[in-house]
Structure 1
Amino acid sequence: MKKIYILGSASKFGMERSYKSALEKLGFEVEIIDFSNMVNAFIPVKFLQRLGLYIDISPAIVKTNHSVAKKAFLEKPYAIIVFTHVKLYPGTIEYFKTFCKNVSFYWPDSIVNMSNNIFSNLKHYTKVYAHSKENVDIFAKNGVKAQWLPFAGDTLLSESFDAYSKKSAEYDFSFIGAYRPERYDAINELLKNFPQSKFLLVGLGWKKLSFHNRNNLTILDKMVDINEFLDYTSKSKIALNAIDHLNYPSSNLRFFEIALSGIPQIATFVPEFEEQFQEAKHVYYFKNLNELVEKAKAILSNYDEALKCGLEFRKSVDSDHNYISRAQSLVNDFI
């Protein structure tokens, strides 16, 4: 069985787990190498270990590059896929390529968050992927050929969830995720315009904020994995997705996670998916807060049609926009 390394994070909240499951489904042996944890292990002072995700300690990063390089030399993986903020040296990437012809990089984040180290490393990879078409164009302008590999819904890690069974909604609106200003503004606008509706917020950073109306607002201060996300989302009639402006013109991962639930989604307008996921057929888009309120009113007044829309989005995930399909694209490039 051919082995693939995924260099990134082993967190249960990371995309790496989704790709691991999908590649295993396609017949590969897959190992996630948590680069930050390896760096942390080489930091001698425990207090600094706790800060390991936020600081750079060069000797620890050097040792981690050496350690990963030695492991790869001994095991000779068929492919190596590097995710996001892994602090590899250019020389390490080139060393990988001496015995592994498939050394790829995937950037599933805003281009604003890409450091100079990561950006300058792009030219060393055999393949570069980005979740946004815009990022593909930006890389091309800087001499790096890249391919579009959008986010998707994880039908494997969420296979126990049944999107097609009838749900009993406890809430009218839900948002699952941490506090950000654009999310707060959208939620407050809905609270102001739907004073009788029930709201569910699940995520960090909401508890101490003031809201227009707390009477019908339930806040759960916690992070959730994909299955908890779906359980909470399916308790509501409408799932809100106020997308961070830094993601523009692409979507966030939540766009597809909500789609898994089969619940009608109101999302910030996503130009890159406007034709693929159409207004009132798969999703409801808003470009400003007035539109958000109008779309919410329209959904609640004709909920049976809106539910068909949510389920149509789910069907598109089942048929194509899932990580098995995305992983197959990677594998096709390896061959």
Structure 2
Amino acid sequence: MNIFMVGSSADTALEQSYRRAMEAAGHEVFIYDVVDQFGEFTRFGRLGQIVNQYISVDPWRQKLNRDLSLRIRAGRPDLVLVFGNARILFSTLAFVKSVHDCRFVLVWPDPLTSLQPHVRDAALLYDGVATYCRASVALFERMGFANVQWVPLAADPALHENAAPASQFLYDLTFVGAWRPEREQALATLIRHFPALKMGIWGTSWSRSQSRTLKSHLHPKPLLGRQCAAMFGQSRLNLNVIDDACFPAANMRFFEIPVAHGLQLASACPEMAGTFKANEHILYFTDHDSLCTTVDYALSHPAEMVTIRQAGYDLVRQQHTYAHRTTQLLTRFL
């Protein structure tokens, strides 16, 4: 099968995780990198590229979409997957559908607060939506999208899998992710209650942190890909404070930690709670009190944590990789 993706070709991008899984299944995949291609049509050098990130310049966008339309027509794919807010216009979908019989599916991996108008404008021309959040299915249907399916995020073993659990740990607890107020509050609470805790924090925008107690635990350089996986495996506990706007769905980290043989301590995730069961595959917390109680229990019961860590890995490997999601996509949209 010939599959054409519109999005990002960055190695750690969701598109690449799907590409690896689809190619392993024998499909031919091409990624049209919208950001890279936009560079061919923007003017005024670096300044134009910066402006284009925040303000849509219609002539540049029209040129990009013309190029995209012709690329799709020439490639004659069976399926076009459009990821997130990729700047594809409804007119592009209309043109391609008028000259080539293929299906367009929107792959939506973000909170609805991120949905941009150009995506909504093309609702009637999409043949389906694969949304990471079950709660958003009805909302996409109300916006006019057809065949809206819940297809959660997943683990990419090629990017994050560790071959075996660590026998020794570098940290008691780590957090890998961008700064958010709720994340800062959770980590600051832990340091107050466990001052001897060996903690590491990696991610962007942590310069915004107001907590003095966290300063010595911050690492300015973010971790990506294999570096991220290595740290997950070398920490006794991996904290996953899911972005408030992501609720009630699971974020990418939810699957990345267990496939790296990491033990995950996650904030409430109702859409996955029935599958990733508390104290069996994962540890959960609901507020700062339960966070501290759970950390205390985990650190004082290492043998039990070994069992949970392995069960989480097994569950992800058996049911929640992008190979599994690829099967879901192709079954539901073709």
TM-score (ref. length: structure 2)? 0.94
Task: Write the distance in 2 (CA, Å) between the matches of 1:223 and 1:33.
Answer: 26
CA contact (8 A) 1:268 1:287 kept: yes
Give the fraction of aligned pairs with identical amino acids, expressed as a percent: 26
CA contact (8 A) 2:159 2:225 kept: yes
Task: Write the distance in 2 (CA, Å) between the matches of 1:122 and 1:181.
Answer: 34
Unpaired runs of at least 5, structure 1 = none
Tell me the secondary structure at the aligned position of residue 129 of structure 1: strand
Of the structure 1 ranges 176-185 and 304-313, higher mean CA displacement relative to structure 2 is found in 304-313
Shift of 1:177: 1.1
Of the structure 1 ranges 53-62 and 14-23, higher mean CA displacement relative to structure 2 is found in 53-62
| Deviation string, structure 1 residues 76-105 (Cα, Å, up to 9, x no partner) | 112110000112111211222231322111
**2:236 alignment counterpart:** 237
- Aligned counterparts, 1:146-165, within 5 A: 146-159=148-161, 161-162=162-163, 164-165=164-165
CA contact (8 A) 1:40 1:60 kept: no
**1:103 alignment counterpart:** 104
* Superposed structure 1 runs of 4+ greater than 6 Å apart: none
Q: Taking structure 1 as reference, are residues 110 and 56 closer, same or farther at Cα in structure 2, changes over 3 Å only?
A: same
Shift of 1:334: 4.9
CA contact (8 A) 2:12 2:159 kept: no
**1:48 alignment counterpart:** 48
Which structure's residues are more often helix, by fraction?
2
Tell me the secondary structure at the aligned position of residue 275 of structure 1: coil
Alignment of 1:135 onto 2:172? no
**1:195 alignment counterpart:** 195
TM-score (ref. length: structure 1)? 0.94
CA contact (8 A) 2:187 2:214 kept: no
**2:275 alignment counterpart:** 276
CA contact (8 A) 1:36 1:52 kept: no
Alignment of 1:35 onto 2:34? yes
Superposition RMSD on alpha carbons, in Å? 1.7
Task: Write the distance in 1 (CA, Å) between the matches of 2:243 and 2:223.
Answer: 19
| Deviation string, structure 1 residues 221-267 (Cα, Å, up to 9, x no partner) | 12332211111222210000111110011111111111212222111
- Aligned counterparts, 1:72-221, within 5 A: 72-98=72-98, 99-145=100-146, 146-159=148-161, 161-162=162-163, 164-207=164-207, 209-214=209-214, 217-221=216-220
| Deviation string, structure 1 residues 197-218 (Cα, Å, up to 9, x no partner) | 1101111222563435358x43
Alignment of 1:14 onto 2:16? no
Shift of 1:274: 1.3
Task: Write the distance in 2 (CA, Å) between the matches of 1:51 and 1:221.
Answer: 27
Task: Write the distance in 2 (CA, Å) between the matches of 1:81 and 1:100.
Answer: 14
**2:64 alignment counterpart:** 64
- Aligned counterparts, 1:243-254, within 5 A: 243-254=242-253
